[in-house]
Amino acid sequence: MEESRHYFIGIQIPEQLAHQIKADIDKRSELSFQKWTAPIDYHVTLVFLGAIPEDRLNKISELLEQLSHEMSAFPLKLNEIGVFGQIERPRVFFAKPSESKPLMDVREKVKEAVLSADHPVEKRPFHPHMTIARKWNADHPYIEQAPLRKEPYSMEVSSIALFEIRLKETPRYHVIKQFTLHK
């Protein structure tokens, strides 16, 4: 039986920056999680699509191509740490971007493109983040973490991407199409 493919639209973290973040995280011996995200898979999800018919995926891709001509590159900073789930035993450990109007604007435009292609978007509030690890795996409780370092990690977001999820591979998130921000 063939598994259905799942997709999302997001911002890929540059490889060099991802490896720097991972090296800094590895210095924290008090972190004990069951599943660690490979640096090559670091990203910030804008819209999760899930399983989607190919014709609708193509329509979304066309809309994102048009949209990319209306959007400008913007800076993104990552440094703060957060968790989802119970604070003592978090489900997800992540780095979150600094608040950014350009990031929220891009997310809103991508969301509108997906909706205009008649594909649903999660109704939960959008909390931009880059997943680092999952499932707390220690007898002692998780202790709130300080930022990753004194100065935030900075990058220029000059494109967004359509990713396919391949759970049994590493990397598990494959860029299907890149959309350069042109404005």
Q: Which of 19, 129, 140, 174 is catalytic?
A: 129
Say which residues have a Cβ less than 8 Å from residue 116's Cβ, sequence separation at least 6.
Answer: 63
For residues 2 and 11, what is the distance between their CA atoms, to the nearest angstrom? Answer: 28
The count of residues in the chain is 183
Diameter over CA atoms, the chain:
51
Q: Which of 19, 43, 127, 174 is catalytic?
A: 43
For 57, counting Cβ atoms within 10 Å of its Cβ (0-12 exposed, 13-18 middle, 19+ buried), the class is: buried
Can you list the alpha helix ranges (DSSP code H) found in 69-181?
101-116
Q: How far is CA 150 from the centre of its chain?
A: 22
Cis bond before residue 171 (omega within 30° of 0): yes
**Strand order of the sheet with strand 43-51?**
43-51, 6-12, 159-165, 173-180
Active site residue 6: no
Active site residue 43: yes
For residues 76 and 101, what is the distance between their CA atoms, to the nearest angstrom? Answer: 10
Catalytic residues: 43, 129
